[in-house]
Amino acid sequence: MATIQELVALTDELVQLAPWWAGWARPISEGEIALFETEHGVALWPGHRAVLVEIGDHAPLPTRPGGALAPLARARALTTASAFVGPLADAFPHSGAAPVELEWDDDRDDYADPHWLRGCLPLTGTGCDESYVLVVSGPDRGRVWGVTPSGAPQLHPTGLAFCAWYRAELERGVARERARHGELTELERRVTRDPEDVEALVELGRAHLFDDRQRAASLLERAWSIGRGDPRAHGLGRAIAQLDLLEDRQDLRDRQDRQDRHDRIAAMADLEDSAEVSWLRSYAAIAAARRGDDAEAVTLFERGKTPAPLCPIAAGYRGLALWRSGQPDRALAALARAPTLANLAMSAKIRGEQGDLDGARRGWARVRLGLTRGSEDAPRAPTLADFITLPAPSLADVDAALARLGVHSG
């Protein structure tokens, strides 16, 4: 049987191995928990209550799409289960190890029991119309069940009490991070054994690009020197281009150093025989746009396809370069290919400049909707996009833009 101490230790290890999980669980007071219990006429399962108190509301589920247990106050609104949730104080009638297929009412074209998840508190959605619920009332109180409303059967007992189920979830996430750290340790050993192991230098350098920039730069520049500047060796070119894009953000770099980095990225964009030419060319185009060389950026963007993971970022920089070079219609077409909040905001600005005030209002309204109703992404390791993506405007900036267009948000 899992103890709360074991669960706390696993969440602490998760944060230690993957710091981006820090602060994901949110404090919840005993008073808030008691209010929920009073409102619904139930006592939470002790293990669940302990997780709320000791780890927090919105506790991490590192391998699930949402990344967290549903917050207590909003758990009953979980999308895949909310239509069938009944009173928590009413008993969930099922128990045992066998899946349950629910009775269907052909006359109503619906389940015979519309609230077949009575007595259950939704825990998390897992995608594809699947979720998990915790039984809080009924013979299986304290156990977790899987739910697939559009499947058959619809109810799947896990056979696990809440703490055992949650421990298994945490262990999967922690195991993944342990494996990642093990791979880094092995790369460190390889570099120690052979300081000229270019493959290990590149892999280790890329792994540290976003958490230890100085270490990454040392490793990648050494690989560049050993490889005599051949970017085709072990993905070195792509790693160096990422480093140069990141280093360009540091204000203390002197002008010549920045120019050298720009020149290095640009030179790699001409390597037609490189397997990563589309990445290198896209990085060069983004670098050109970031330094204000819009003509060069537009030319590079038009020389080939952008890799799919870079498309939202590239669309923003391409639109920016076209807009600044006096081609607003082409800029709007480029931005429309990837309607991120930043790209929608830029489109709204362009439409406003063109006198299309209705289009500008609609654009800013879409940005506002995205800012106020956007879903929260689960924590993840930082990527290049986090450092070079054009920023989305703040809600205050959006409201100010709408006010200038005669729209006042309530």
Residue appearing with tokens 């037609």: 272
Q: Which of 88, 82, 172, 79 is nearest to 126 (CA)?
A: 79
Q: Residue 118 in contact with residue 92, Cβ under 8 Å?
A: yes
Largest CA distance in the chain: 78
3-class SS of residue 58:
coil
Question: What does the pLDDT read at residue 115?
Answer: 87
Q: What is the H or E stretch that residue 173 is in? A: helix 162-193
Burial class from Cβ neighbours inside 10 Å (0-12, 13-18, 19+) for residue 134 reads: buried
Taking only the tens place, the pLDDT of each residue in 249-261 is 444 455 556 666 6
**Helices 198-207, 236-247: inter-axial angle, 10-degree rounding:** 40
Q: Token pair of 149, please?
A: 């409303």
Count how many Cα atoms sit within 13 Å of the Cα of residue 404 in the half-sphere of its side chain.
Answer: 12
Residue type, 173: G
Q: Which domains can be identified in the chain, with CATH numbers?
A: 4-93+109-173 (3.40.1580)
Which positions of the chain have pLDDT values less than 70? Answer: 1, 78-80, 229-232, 248-262, 269-275, 374-375, 409-410
Residue appearing with tokens 């540290």: 208
Q: Which of 59, 23, 18 is nearest to 178 (CA)?
A: 18
Question: What does the pLDDT read at residue 268?
Answer: 72
Contacts of 264 (CB under 8 A, 6+ apart): 240, 241, 244
Q: Token pair of 19, please?
A: 């710091």
Backbone phi, psi, residue 116, to 5°: -75, -5
d(CA 318, CA 302): 9
Q: What is the H or E stretch that residue 157 is in? A: strand 155-161
- Termini Cα distance of the chain: 51
Which residues make beta-bridge pairs with 132?
Answer: 124, 146
d(CA 311, CA 299): 16
Question: What does the pLDDT read at residue 251?
Answer: 44
Q: Token pair of 184, please?
A: 């880094």
Name the E strands within 100-154: 104-105, 110-111, 120-127, 130-135, 143-147
Question: What does the pLDDT read at residue 178?
Answer: 97
d(CA 237, CA 276): 8
Residue appearing with tokens 């219990």: 37
**Helices 277-290, 255-268: inter-axial angle, 10-degree rounding:** 150
Burial class from Cβ neighbours inside 10 Å (0-12, 13-18, 19+) for residue 14 reads: buried
Backbone phi, psi, residue 182, to 5°: -65, -40
Residue appearing with tokens 């696990």: 160
3-class SS of residue 158:
strand
- Rg of the chain's alpha carbons, rounded to an integer? 26
| Helix-, strand-, coil-residue percentages of the chain, each rounded to 5 | 55, 10, 35
Contacts of 358 (CB under 8 A, 6+ apart): none
Question: What does the pLDDT read at residue 254?
Answer: 58
d(CA 248, CA 252): 9
Q: Supply the DSSP string of 299-359, one letter for each residue.
A: HHHTTSPPPGGGHHHHHHHHHHHHHHTT-HHHHHHHHHTS--HHHHHHHHHHHHHHT-HHH
Q: Taking the CB of residue 406, how many other CB atoms lie within 10 A of it? A: 8
Which residues make beta-bridge pairs with 127?
Answer: 130
